[in-house]
Amino acid sequence: MKSACSYDYVLIQNDEGMEERYCGHYNSLVYTSTTNRIKVSFVSDNTIEKNGFMAYFITDLDECRNNNAGCQQRCTNTIGSYQCECESGYVLADDGHNCKEGGCNLQVYDPEGEITSPNYPFDYPKGKNCNWHFVTTPGHRLSISFEEFMFEEHNTCKYDHIEIFDGGNSDATSLGIFCGSDIPPNLQSSANQLFMTMLTDASVDRRGFKAFFSSVCGGNLKAEQTIGYIYSHARYSDGKYEKKMRCEWRIMAQQNRGVNIRFAQFDLEREVNCEFDYVEIYDGGEILEEHRVARYCGDKLPPSFTSTGRSLLLLLITDESEEQKGFIAEYRSSIPGKITPLTSTTRRPPREPIINNN
């Protein structure tokens, strides 16, 4: 993924002052310059190592520069050719150049962004059944807010409407059905998935909607026998954590079980008393001084800890000065622990856990 890419990355620059950074994992990546010269730089830090990259370069003519190559909507240059593409809500016609109304079922994995109804800012198509499935980083929730909203009016939203669900499909708890011209309230998921449907009938059409979604740290998590992950911030893999964060994760196990937590990666601002950026672990579901186990900062892995009851709270605080890479924590259900936290000589692992979006 591109975005910040603050640690290990490839930087490509051209003569016009434009640049692109790339990091993460790609099976195939094509960069096409707008000038006849580019500079490629490789940068790595002193923590995680990966396999690196192998690249080929050739010269190529940009067919899209000439009358959009005959494409009705979007044209993308490819090696030795070009490809016509369509806006949201449309698919490519059989001729490969024009666009027609099509499906609108989207999987969205970005931590934040903008979405619109099909054909926005013009009227949405009739007879559509669309859905958006949002998935963000484990340990984070999704928030959605609407800037513009215009649907067919009905007192029970029987006709054209959207519905938002607290989970990964329409079987999850409904957060609301909305229609008309009133802006829906800001809504937030309880975990890292959100699902939205849009239904239009064959009669009235309207302008539709424009909305923004973002990731929010913290939430209520369920500890099971399989490992769950908490990332300090949604863009952990390609950027440092933000300033002035306050995140609370409440982890709950079933009755007569405890919650075990260990850190796979840990890098917060270092300070002798951990007064600036830090995490705290609480043996229980509330922030009470008598339940506080410890406070940690710096880049040394904290010891693992198992709660004495069925709940554990993890708190992250950052100030407005220095940022670092953050942390990855693993949690799972376990036999309840003792009052004193366990010690550990665990060393920094060589690789990061993989975010599983399935």
Q: How far is CA 45 from CA 13, 39, 42, 49, 73, in A?
A: 20, 20, 11, 9, 41
Cβ neighbour number for residue 277 with a 10 Å cutoff = 25
Same fold yes or no, 105-217 and 219-334:
yes
- Identify the CATH class of 219-334: mainly beta
38-50 pLDDT per residue, tens: 899 999 988 888 8
Spans of all domains in the chain? 9-101, 105-217, 219-334
Q: How far is CA 146 from CA 149, 176, 209, 214, 353, in A?
A: 7, 14, 7, 12, 34
Q: What are phi and psi of 34, to 5 degrees?
A: -100, 0
Distance, CA of 138 to CA of 58 (rounded, Å): 40
Q: Which two tokens stand for residue 66?
A: 């000439």
Per CATH, the homologous superfamily of domain 9-101 is Laminin (2.10.25.10)
75-118 pLDDT per residue, tens: 988 878 899 998 766 778 889 999 876 668 889 999 999 999 98
Q: How far is CA 122 from CA 1, 45, 59, in A?
A: 31, 47, 39
Tell me the pLDDT of the chain (358 aa) as tens digits: 445 788 889 999 988 888 889 888 777 787 878 778 889 999 998 888 888 888 888 887 888 989 999 999 999 888 788 999 987 667 788 899 998 766 688 899 999 999 999 888 899 988 889 999 999 999 999 999 999 999 999 999 999 999 999 999 999 999 999 999 999 999 999 999 999 999 999 998 899 999 999 999 999 999 999 999 999 999 887 789 999 999 999 999 999 999 999 999 999 999 999 999 999 999 999 999 999 999 999 999 999 999 999 999 999 999 998 899 999 999 999 999 876 543 333 333 334 444 444 4
pTM equals: 0.68
Distance, CA of 60 to CA of 207 (rounded, Å): 41
Per CATH, the homologous superfamily of domain 105-217 is Spermadhesin, CUB domain (2.60.120.290)
